[in-house]
């Protein structure tokens, strides 16, 4: 992809809520909207995310919130009392387009991506900055812990890889950071997909960066639920399988990037039998998600048209 260029005709609103910070080292991008994410997120979840950002141990960052919502989200942000750049898109261009907009508008050398239903630890931004400053990296994939004891959270095996840092792809966009100039140079996230976009971005980052410069770093921590209902699991599986088919048709080598970043021994924190059960459960839910893919697509189309 070519270098990302911001199309300002996509922006309905671009304003600062509070005083604009001077010379931020990092730009934190949060994308939020029920239609953009296809997963309803309540006000309590959003409040927890922004309260967590307000409580950070460093103030050397700016926050860019990108949405297609307006007054209700603006009210929440002002109620929390957090300073941010509030950007409202004209229509729902998708989560990846919104992330690219946030990164392009940012001024920090590092762009940090945080999902709107993820709660950052107090040192979240500080640890991302430390990783870029001390490890000389291009991209960081942080550590995740689940928020709740939902049984559906057991279906993930990619949140916590332990205390050691090692080369690894950006396989979870809820907690990731990239050198901003490099991110824009390779074109940002692919706006035509939603699912496996981190792996696809990693493939392009490898064209300009060394494998050792893309790493899992345990310092930046967020709390995030994989799923809290069986319905959510199926919708997520259907979406990711559809994205996988699109990527494989376009570039059969896309998923070869996983072979570039094998997990080191001991990185998977679950036991052997738990790992096997997770594998079987994921295969079953993938098949069910595929069967319902048409229904989920029609529902997303209705949401986008609403």
- DSSP 8-state symbol, 292: T
Q: Which two tokens stand for residue 211?
A: 């494998």
Q: What is the pLDDT of residue 236?
A: 76
Residues in the chain: 306
What 3-state class would DSSP assign to 276?
Answer: helix
The full set of domain ranges for the chain reads 8-305
Distances (CA, A) of 174 to 118, 200, 243: 7, 15, 18
Asked if residue 239 lies in contact with residue 194, where contact means CB atoms within 8 angstroms, the answer is yes
* pLDDT tens across the length of the chain (306 residues): 689 999 999 999 999 999 999 999 999 999 986 533 444 567 778 899 999 999 999 999 999 999 876 668 888 999 999 999 999 999 888 899 999 999 999 999 999 999 998 999 999 999 999 999 998 899 999 999 988 887 777 777 778 899 999 999 998 889 999 999 999 999 999 998 878 899 999 999 999 999 999 999 999 999 998 777 787 777 777 777 777 788 888 888 888 898 899 888 877 655 554 556 666 666 666 667 666 666 656 665 565 555
Superfamily of domain 8-305: Spore Coat Polysaccharide Biosynthesis Protein SpsA; Chain A (3.90.550.10)
CA dihedral 29, 33, 38, 41 (to 10 degrees): 100
Q: Which two tokens stand for residue 126?
A: 């500080």
Distances (CA, A) of 306 to 35, 40, 214, 292, 301: 9, 15, 39, 22, 9
β-pair partners for 11? 89
CA distance 226 to 205: 26
Angle at 118 between CA 117 and CA 119, to 5 degrees: 125
Asked if residue 164 lies in contact with residue 237, where contact means CB atoms within 8 angstroms, the answer is no
What 3-state class would DSSP assign to 98?
Answer: helix
CA distance 131 to 129: 5
Asked if residue 269 lies in contact with residue 161, where contact means CB atoms within 8 angstroms, the answer is yes
Helix axes 293-305, 272-291, angle to 10 degrees: 70
pTM, 2 dp: 0.88
What 3-state class would DSSP assign to 29?
Answer: strand
């Amino acid at each position: 992809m070519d270098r990302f260029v911001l199309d300002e005709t996509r922006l309905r609103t671009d304003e600062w809520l509070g005083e604009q910070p001077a010379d931020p080292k990092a730009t934190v991008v949060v994308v939020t909207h029920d239609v953009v994410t296809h997963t309803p997120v309540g006000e309590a979840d959003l409040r927890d995310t922004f309260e967590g950002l307000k409580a950070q141990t460093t103030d050397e960052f700016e926050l860019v919130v990108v949405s297609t919502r307006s007054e209700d989200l603006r009210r929440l942000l002002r109620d929390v009392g957090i300073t941010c750049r509030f950007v409202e898109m004209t229509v729902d261009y998708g989560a990846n387009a919104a992330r690219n907009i946030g990164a392009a508008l940012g001024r920090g050398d590092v762009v940090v991506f945080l999902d709107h239903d993820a709660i950052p630890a107090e040192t979240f931004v500080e640890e991302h900055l430390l990783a870029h400053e001390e490890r000389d990296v291009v991209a960081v994939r942080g550590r995740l812990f689940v928020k709740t004891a939902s049984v559906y959270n057991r279906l993930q095996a990619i949140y916590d890889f332990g205390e050691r840092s090692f080369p690894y792809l950006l396989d979870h966009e809820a907690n990731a950071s990239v050198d901003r100039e490099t991110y824009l140079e390779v074109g940002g996230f692919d706006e035509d997909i939603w699912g496996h976009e981190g792996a696809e971005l990693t493939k392009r980052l490898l064209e300009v960066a060394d494998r050792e410069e893309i790493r899992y770093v345990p310092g930046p921590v967020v709390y995030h639920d994989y799923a809290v209902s069986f319905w959510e699991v199926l919708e997520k599986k259907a979406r990711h399988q559809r994205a996988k088919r699109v990527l494989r048709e376009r570039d059969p080598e896309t998923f070869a990037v996983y072979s570039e970043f094998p997990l080191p021994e001991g990185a998977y924190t679950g036991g052997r039998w738990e790992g096997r059960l997770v594998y079987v459960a994921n295969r079953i839910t993938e098949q069910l998600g595929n069967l319902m893919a048409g229904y989920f697509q029609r529902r997303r189309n209705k949401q986008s048209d609403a």
